Each structure stands twice: as C-alpha cells, then as structure tokens.
Structure 1
Amino acid sequence: MTIKRLISSLTQQENLNFLLTNRIPRAALTRFIGWFSKIEQPLIRDLSIACWRLFSDLDLSEARKTDFKSLHDCFTRELRPGLRPYDPDASIVASPCDAIIGAFGKIADTELFQIKGAPYSLLDLLGDPALVEAHRNGRFITLRLTSSMYHRFHAPYDCRIERVTFIHGDTWNVNPVTLKRIERLFCKNERAVLQTRLATGEALTLVPVAAILVASIQLHFLDRLLNAQTRGPTVFSCDADVRKGDELGWFEHGSTIIVLAPDHFEFCDNVSDSARIRAGEPLMRKSPA
C-alpha cells in the first residue's frame, strides 16, 4: 500500500470513528447506557460484558471480585489490595488513575492545549478567576482513561480538598480523533473542578471530565453522584483531608482527568506523549527550590 493510500485509509477510519461516537444523540444515549448498565440480570450482564470484551482490551485479572452484579458493577470495579502502590517520595505527585498520557507541558500564561495546535484557556476550563491565577504559568497534564481501564481515581498527594465545582455541559467523546475536530472540548463537556491545597499552601487542582456513555462522577467525600440530573447548588465547600493514594471516587466509564500544578513542579522521566501510566506511579516532582 502506498503512503498516500495508507493516509487516506487512516483518515476514513478516523471519520467513521468520529461519526459513530459523536454524531448521535449523545445525551440521550448516555442516559440510556446509565440505566441499562445497572440492570442486575445475569443474561444481560454476561452478554454486555462479553460484547465489551469483544471491542476492547478489557482485562479483569486484577479485579477484587470476578462475580459482578451488572455491567455498571464491572465498570466501577475495585482492584485487589496492593496492586497500585503509591510512590512514597514526599516530593512526588503521583498519577491519580490508570491512564494514557495526552497533552502536557507548561501553561503559557493561562493557555494550555488539548492536542498540539488546539489551545484552550484556564478560565474556560475552571470558570473561576481566582483559581486561574493560582495556576497561571504552571504545569498541566492530561490523563485519558479508556473504557476498559480501572475507573477509580485517587489522591495524587497528601492534601486538603477545599471545594468542588460541578459544571454542566456536553458529552463529546474524549478520544484523540474527537480532540482533533472539536475545539475547546474539555471546556464543553461536563466536569468537576476539585480544588485541593497541599500542606505547604500550594494549589493542586484535578479536573475529571465526563464523556459520552459516562457523564457521572461519584466522589466519596460528597456522597452524591454528579451528572446531568444534578440540581440545586453546583459549588460544594469541602474540608476533607486525604493522604496520597486514598480513593476519591470513580467515573462510570472511561474519561479524562486534567491535573494542574504550580510552576515549580517538573514532569518525571516516565512522562511522555501517549505513554501508559498506572495510578500511583510518578507524575510530577516538586522542585527543592
């Protein structure tokens, strides 16, 4: 196959992927899957998980249990104890989740990017001018969870969670194909902004971004599900002290977490574009200075 034909074939595959996962009633399908996945009927459960295996690299060998009540129970599975040890180095910010590393780097004043050449602003992402100032010229990294990954996420550092802001939005797919085509995608999708503060007073912010078939984020310290049906206040004051590795919550499918840190944090040597990282592995290192 010539290079020209190969490029044409790849482009057609990307176009088909985009159409099948985005040019559909995203919100309605997400609500349906949310309902369907919770059906506790053995035949439906087994067929759903079998179909999921067919179209992904789902591996349940690390799961704490192998007998699931439903597809949702399998999505939000826990792992056997000890499989995700968190780096004990006090200078290390660990990955909060299993993921594929996407865009990362230095925030240019208040601008970051979802892929090369596709910028977006901190204010559009966070909606809070004060928090924008805390991360001006800082560091960011994008962690994408695929559908088959472990979907729970954990505290990347010893910190205090001070506030959670839930922002209503769309449910675009967050895969690379869609990131190329939809500008400011992370600023359009539903997301939660978790404001945390380290013992030294520095801001460390996590932004779990929901996506198609997901749009539900469960946080233990709020004891409520955040999704399109969330009504009433969307800003929650918190006072939760967590230790590195403590479970914070989970997605109900795959999605993305954006981590924002101050400018004196540097990326660890294992951080590279499209690399796979596991929860607990080094992500950033705090400079001694």
Structure 2
Amino acid sequence: MKKILYQSFIELTNKPFTSKLIERFSCSPFSRKFIRSYAKIYNVKQEEMSKKLSEYGTLHELFTRKLKDQARPFSLQKEVIISPVDGEIEQYGTLTNKTEMIVKEKPYSVKELVGNEYELQKYIGGTYFILYLSPSDYHRIHSPADANIIKTWTLGNKSYPVNQLGLKYGKAPLVKNYRKLTELAYNEHRFLLVKVGAMFVNSITMTHDEKSINKGDEIAYFSFGSTVILLFEKDSFVTDESIQKGQKVKVGQTLGRFQS
C-alpha cells in the first residue's frame, strides 16, 4: 500500500492540484513519519548520506539529500565527461538529420526540446544521453566537466510522468514538460544539460549562479524525480566503450571524453 502511495507521490502525479498537495505534504513535519518506510521500500543507500536517517525532518529533505564528501569519486582528466546524476541510461546515441531521439520506440523532437532551430543546429550529428532518475536515486545534479556557463533558459509548462511507462505511453514528456536548459562550454566544445521536471511545481532548483563551474560541482537539484538529457556537438565527444543502454550510473562515472 505504501509503495503505491509513494509511486503516486513521485512518479505518476501530473495534475496541478494534486501536485501542490503532494508538495505541501512532503515538506510538512507530518511526512517525517514516512521517512523510514520510504527509505526501506526504495532501498535508499543510507551509508552514503551526509546525515543519519533520523536527522531528516521531512520527506522532501530526504529526497533532496546530500551525500558524504568523496561519495562520488571521478576522473580528474580534463577531457573526461562524467555522469551529472545517479540514474539509468534510458537511451543514448547520435542525433541524426531527422533531429529526433527515439525513446521506447517513440520519436522525440529535439527542436522542441531546445526551443529553437539555431540552438538545435549545433547538436545535429552529435551524441545524446537520456538519464532517468528513479525515486531511490540521489537527486542532485552535478557538472559533467570543467566549463563556462554560456546561458540558462526555461521552457515547457506540462507535467507528464517521466518514468518508463510515461516515456512509452505519455504525451512526449521529455520535450513538453517544464525544463531548465543550461548551455556550457569546455574550451571550443559546447554541450547542453537539460533538466526535465515531473510535477506541476517548481521541481528544479538551480544552486549555482556563477559564470564557470568545476567538474563535479553541484549545479541544481530535483525536488521530485525526473530526467536529465545531455547533448554534445558533432565530432566533439566519444562515448566510453563500457557504456550500455539500461545501465545504472552514478555521479562521477565516466560517460566518455571530449576529442582534442
């Protein structure tokens, strides 16, 4: 019963009224009673957390938890790109001239994802990653590389589910949902970090507002579960040979590297 409740809480809710109710509940002291069962059902890795389970006052605090220092080691080689989140590689590949990503046998328009033709042109022929965060995952987002932040913009006003059923049967949630896009640059290479929301609330909170960011530094967090999409320019990125579709990855794990 509790698992059904939590799935509605995190994964399936896409109505403004119920989303607001869930937000209020998760931030309320009353939600603390559910922390232990939530952690058990979703197998939250308590040994990684920066605080003990008993120290969290609300479900929202647990969901947006921080980790211990050094819990997510990563390569210090400048050209290596790391995963910005804990999650599952839902899909990855090359963005073709059709400018579509195929997810669960459904095409998604990348033009609609990024918002305009000019932004899209940079990434045709390049590599994309779709990383899905489940309710059990750590929900803070980190920079994949040392980079300068070029710009950030916001698109979308929908709130369709972004779990696997939502991707397969929903109304194109990756390109219609509320999302924040951040364009970054490493030397001459541009890449795009897209944070896709999943609720009718401001579920994406930016935590970094400077002009540059170091690899591994936190850039934002999700208040509710969602998806991150990475886009790289053509001939700028080589995917690591170990990467596979459906693979679970953690922040800091190598996804590939920039080409010289």
TM normalised by structure 2 equals 0.88
Deviation at 1:112, TM superposition (A): 3.0
**Unaligned segments of structure 1, at least 5 residues:** 1-16, 223-238
Q: Secondary structure at the match of 1:124?
A: helix
2:44 corresponds to which of 50, 58, 74: 58
Aligned position for 1:249:
220
Flag as ranges the 4+ runs of structure 1 deviating above 4 A.
none
Q: Answer whether contact 1:208 1:256 (CA < 8 A) is retained.
A: yes
Aligned position for 2:24:
35
Q: Deviations over 1:258-284 (max 9, x none)?
A: 000112212112211111101011012
Aligned position for 1:7:
none
**Counterpart Cα distance in 2 of 1:183 and 1:173:** 9
Aligned position for 1:14:
none
Q: Answer whether contact 1:148 1:254 (CA < 8 A) is retained.
A: no
Aligned position for 1:5:
none
Q: 1:191 to 1:68 in 2, by over 3 A?
A: same
Deviation at 1:103, TM superposition (A): 1.1
Aligned position for 1:274:
246
Deviation at 1:207, TM superposition (A): 0.4
Q: Answer whether contact 2:105 2:168 (CA < 8 A) is retained.
A: no
Q: 1:170 to 1:183 in 2, by over 3 A?
A: closer
Q: Answer whether contact 1:106 1:138 (CA < 8 A) is retained.
A: yes
Alignment of 1:205 onto 2:181: no
Looking at CA atoms only, which structure, 1 or 2, has the larger radius of gyration? 1
Q: 1:25 to 1:218 in 2, by over 3 A?
A: closer
Q: 1:118 to 1:25 in 2, by over 3 A?
A: closer
Mean alpha-carbon deviation: is it higher for 47-56 or for 68-77?
47-56
1:71-110 matches, cutoff 5 A: 71-109=59-97
Q: Deviations over 1:192-240 (max 9, x none)?
A: 1111111x22211000001137651111234xxxxxxxxxxxxxxxx61
**Unaligned segments of structure 2, at least 5 residues:** 1-6
Q: Percent identity?
A: 26
1:126 corresponds to which of 114, 138, 147: 114
